Structure 1
Amino acid sequence: MSKTTDARRSRNAEPEHRWPPLIATVFALGLYAALPSIIPAFERYAVVGICLLLLIVLVVYNPHRLTRQSRWSRRIEIGLAFLILIANQVALVETVVRLLNKHGNGSELLLASLQVWVTNVIAFAIVYWVLDRGGAVSRVSVPRSELPLADFRFPQDEDHDAIDEVAKGSSQKSDWMPNYIDYFYFSLSNSMAFSPTDTMPLSHRAKLLMSLESFGGFVLLALVIARAVSLIG
């Protein structure tokens, strides 16, 4: 019997489905590939191609539910997440420069800004999802006492003393664990509110990543509003 199966005897949490993070990753790569950019198409398509190759390897390893993890698969999923994030940060900087210098068609710049912003939300969600508590497989297979320190605190982590219908879904009573949808939601709210909402960062790396996401979203939104006002004028 595998180590993962042995460890899961003490856990009630179900392994996460592959499809939500898979669909989000493919969608983000599609947005990045279609982005109006001064970066040569070959370089952008090369990034997308590498990401798709890494993604295929991970899907073959865990096709339906995320039940297996090895050292090499862990490195691939972290590398894939940060490759998408870094590529989009380059695109974000380029878009900001073009907005500041008013290079290109106004409507094209506004569309590019939206593409970069949406990709940023997805990319940061993937990074949070990959890093927190050792990743998706670790979160449901490793005994809680042996899990790495949490990067984020979710509402369910402190709902055990609420009224019954709320407490039943808490981490303590139901062995609840966050999945990609939870990380996507707080990545989206962090990009829109420029601050944590219901989920709080605990580690330094989580705080730095959320700060970077908030700052990038704020700068992009401010410049898009300024650009839109100038077009109206």
Structure 2
Amino acid sequence: MTGHHPSHTNDASNPYSEARWPMAGAVLAAVVLTLVLPDDLRLGPRWVLPLVEGLLLVALIAGDPVRISRRSAALRAVAIALVSVLICGAIWSTVRLIDDLVSGGTETNSASALLQAGGSVWASTVLAFSLLYFELDSGGAAARAHHMPPTPALAFPQHMSPELNAAHWRPRYIDYLYLGLTNSTAFSPTDVMPLAPWAKIVMAVQSLVSLLVLGLIIARAVNVLA
């Protein structure tokens, strides 16, 4: 939702609203992963991305604490900005890691350092994409708490099986985290089907990124250990 709706401004009692802490925990986990990345895999100085992400997260929590239920154009803009920063950081680290794997960077000469750096980058992409799905699907968590569209961008099993009572079900962050994880390991949709064009594109990009990272890491690690 893009507009402000006074009647729902602080509707924290909405039974369909989601707790803030899972999403906030995912952002904090992404911040930690950014801090432990090697300098040449990080976008900007060590403190820049964590500071920006932390400030945006604080703004979200201050504007809509405890449960995500307030529909506001300003909060929506902050949420999209936060996800954009996370995605940019994850993609930058992925590109730098792939470049190091191809050209032979400092992290790629040690199997343990390679696995640590590669694992951090891969986990960062999973978290960033899961938050992207979380914020874009059906207008975001606050919009989903008040209304679900007849055709969502991402179709979960509950949407495709009427006997599961989908009319009274809302996807939570854990559902999007599971989507991000399975899409990064299976390199294709598993139980969640992308219906909207943007969902198909984003899931395809995540699958390709994960395939490149995991494939090159495994190949390089085998080469180092051989």
Of structures 1 and 2, the larger Rg is shown by 1
C-alpha contact 2:134 2:176 (8 A) present in aligned 1? yes
- Pick which of 198-207 and 96-105 moved more: 96-105
Quick one: structure 1 residues 61 and 6, their matched pair in 2 at CA, closer, same or farther if it must change by over 3 Å?
closer
Structure 1 residue 158 corresponds to structure 2 residue 166: no
Distance 1:108 1:23, change over 3 A: same
Name the counterpart of 2:166. Answer: 171
In structure 2, what is the equivalent of residue 36 of structure 1? 38
Map of 1:90 onto structure 2: 92
SS at match of 2:40: coil
Counterparts in 2 of 1:39 and 1:224: CA distance versus 1, 3 Å: closer
Unaligned runs of 5+ in 2: none
Aligned length: 219
RMSD (Å), alpha carbons: 2.3
For 2:24, the equivalent position in structure 1 comes to 22
> Share of identical aligned residues, percent?
35
Structure 2 residue 125 is the aligned partner of structure 1 residue 123? no
Counterpart residue type for residue 4 of structure 1: H
Aligned residue in 2 for 1:111: 116
Q: Give the match's secondary structure for 1:43.
A: coil
CA deviations 1:127-182 (Å, max 9, x no partner) are 0000000100100113x4xx485210000012223xxxxx3xx313xx10101000
Aligned partner letter, 1:217? S
CA distance in 1, matches of 2:49, 2:126: 18
Unaligned runs of 5+ in 1: 162-166
Aligned partners of 1:95, 1:23: CA distance in 2, in Å?
A: 25
On the 8 A contact 1:189/1:196 being kept in 2, the answer is yes
Could you tell which deviates more after superposition, 222-231 or 121-130?
222-231
User: CA contact under 8 A between 2:183 and 2:190: conserved in structure 1?
Assistant: yes
Instruction: Tell me how far apart the structure 2 counterparts of residues 118 and 182 of structure 1 sit (CA, whole Å).
Output: 16
> 1:66 aligned to 2:92?
no
Whether the aligned pair in 1 keeps the contact of 2:17 and 2:142 (CA below 8 Å) is yes
Counterpart amino acid of residue 69 in structure 2: T
